[in-house]
Copies of this chain bind each other. A is one copy, B any other.
Amino acid sequence: MFYHVKDLQYNAKPAYPDPVYAKKLQEVLGGQYGEITVMMQYLFQGFNCRADAKYRDLLFDIGTEEIAHVEMLATLIARLLDNAPAKDQEQLVNSDPAIEAIMGGMNPQHAIVSGLGALPSDSVGYPWNARYTIASGNLLADFRANLNAESQGRLQVARLYNLTDDPGVRDTLSFLIARDNAHQNQWIAAIKELEAAEGDIVVPTTFPRNLQKEEVAYDFYNTSQGNESSHGPWAQGLAPDHKYYFRYVEHPVPYGPRPYLIPAPYYLFDTPPMLKA
């Protein structure tokens, strides 16, 4: 069960309205790697957690914090939209096309649909959807998903930091960037703990290795012309799981035969073979 306090986790007050920037900022609220994504991802990983209580608690701790990040960003966006399209500017439309241009950069749904409120959408107006998230039941896999989400997320917020010079907005973003710093470190720490406990780094660690086609499990196939990729640690030396050495295959060839599909039953009306054309 959840409880809400009305104070924000941190400041969310721009110095000035900026509806064009509000549109861009939607990316880290309702985009693929926005705050709604991490909120939902961590909460569902928590709801579904069948592992130790400390992992369940970890997921709810960070997941619940992310609801507060959604709240902060929504508040920030609503304020960036204050008074837009502002009446004075509206009067200028016919005389100054540059102003209209700025207005043209708004997400029109901020005016027409949400009445100057934040939208659960990204910077091109595409609505958030749940396929942005994963809760697989395998925590090592999921913590890697979480680390990825925090990495892409911090990258996007950092880019947005450079796309404004509003000190209020930058203040909020500097908080979110710092929290993503914390969360990247925390998921890395959790990943290391699981890798050590499971004694392997290849997910799922409990799939019997003798059931995989071990002879191709450390090959690197050079399917793209040029050998630049042979000079990396992914193509030579001991693999990170310390089980085998990588093998660089310069001229990879097919191991399987050319497939031949049998005709479909007549009652499905596929084109039959051996048509006398």
Q: Are B54 and A269 in contact (CB under 8 A)?
A: no
Cβ-defined contact, B1 with A197, below 8 A: no
Known: A8-B254, A24-B108, A101-B104. 5 other contacts (CB 8 A): A54-B232, A58-B228, A83-B262, A104-B104, A182-B218
Contact of A74 with B by CB under 8 A:
yes
In whole angstroms, how far apart are the Cα atoms of A124 and B159 in the complex? 21
How often does this chain occur in the complex, in copies?
6
The contact of A60 among B4, B60, B114, B206, by CB within 8 Å, is B4
Of the residues B117, B232, B262, contact of A58 by C-beta under 8 Å: B232
**Measured CA separation A156–B233 after assembly (Å):** 27
Within 8 A of B (CB), among A130-174: 130-141, 144-145, 147-148, 150-152, 154-156, 158-163, 170, 174
Select the residue from A6, A31, A105, A276 with max chain B CB neighbours within 10 A. Answer: A6
- Say yes or no: A225 contacts B3, CB within 8 Å: yes
**B residues less than 8 Å from A12 (CB atoms):** 256, 259
Contacts of A158 in B (CB 8 A): 204, 207, 269
Question: A86 to B237, alpha carbons, bound, how many Å?
Answer: 42
